[in-house]
Amino acid sequence: MKEIKANGTIMFLCMIGMVLFWACTLFGSESQSSRIIVLISRNIIPYLEAVEGLNNLLAAKTGIETEVVLLDRFKGKDQRILVDKILGGRFDLNVAVGPEAARFFWENFNDPFNSMIYTMVLDPEKIFGSTDKVCGISLNIPVGVQIREVAGRLPFLKRIGLLYDPYYNESFYLKAVESAASAGLDIIPLKISSKKHIPKVLNESFGKVDALWFIPDPTIISESIIQYIIKEALLKKIPAIGFNRFFFESGASLVFVFDYEELGAQTAKLVLKILKGGGCKKNVPVFKAMVNLRVMERFGIVNPNGSGSRQEELQR
Determine contact, residues 16/55, Cβ cutoff 8 Å. yes
Query: How do the pLDDT tens digits run along the chain, 316 residues long?
Result: 444 344 555 544 544 444 444 344 333 333 468 999 999 999 999 999 999 999 999 988 878 999 999 999 999 889 999 999 998 988 999 999 999 999 999 999 877 667 899 999 999 999 988 767 789 999 999 999 999 999 999 999 999 999 999 999 999 999 999 999 999 999 999 999 999 999 999 999 999 999 999 999 999 989 999 999 999 999 999 999 999 999 999 999 999 999 999 999 999 999 999 999 888 877 899 999 999 999 999 888 876 665 444 434 544 4
pLDDT of residue 278: 87
Cα–Cα dist 87/68, whole Å: 15
Question: Domain 143-257+288-315: which CATH class?
Answer: alpha beta
Q: Are 122 and 138 in contact (CB under 8 A)?
A: yes
7-139+260-275 topology per CATH: Rossmann fold (3.40.50)
**Chain centre to alpha carbon of residue 206:** 30
Domain parsing of the chain, residue ranges = 7-139+260-275, 143-257+288-315
Identical fold between 7-139+260-275 and 143-257+288-315? yes
The one-letter code for the residue type at 27 is: F
Whole-number pLDDT of residue 8: 53
Amino acid identity, residue 207? Answer: G
What is the spatial distance between Cα 49 and Cα 258, in angstroms, rounded to a whole number?
A: 11
Residues 115, 90: Cα–Cα separation, whole Å = 10
Identify the pLDDT of residue 10. Answer: 52
What is the model's pLDDT at position 9? 55
Those residues whose C-beta lies under 8 Å from the C-beta of residue 233, and which sit 6 or more positions away, are: 206, 212, 239, 240
Chain mean position to CA 278: 23
Concatenating the DSSP letter of every residue in 21-37 gives HHHHHHHTTTS--EEEE
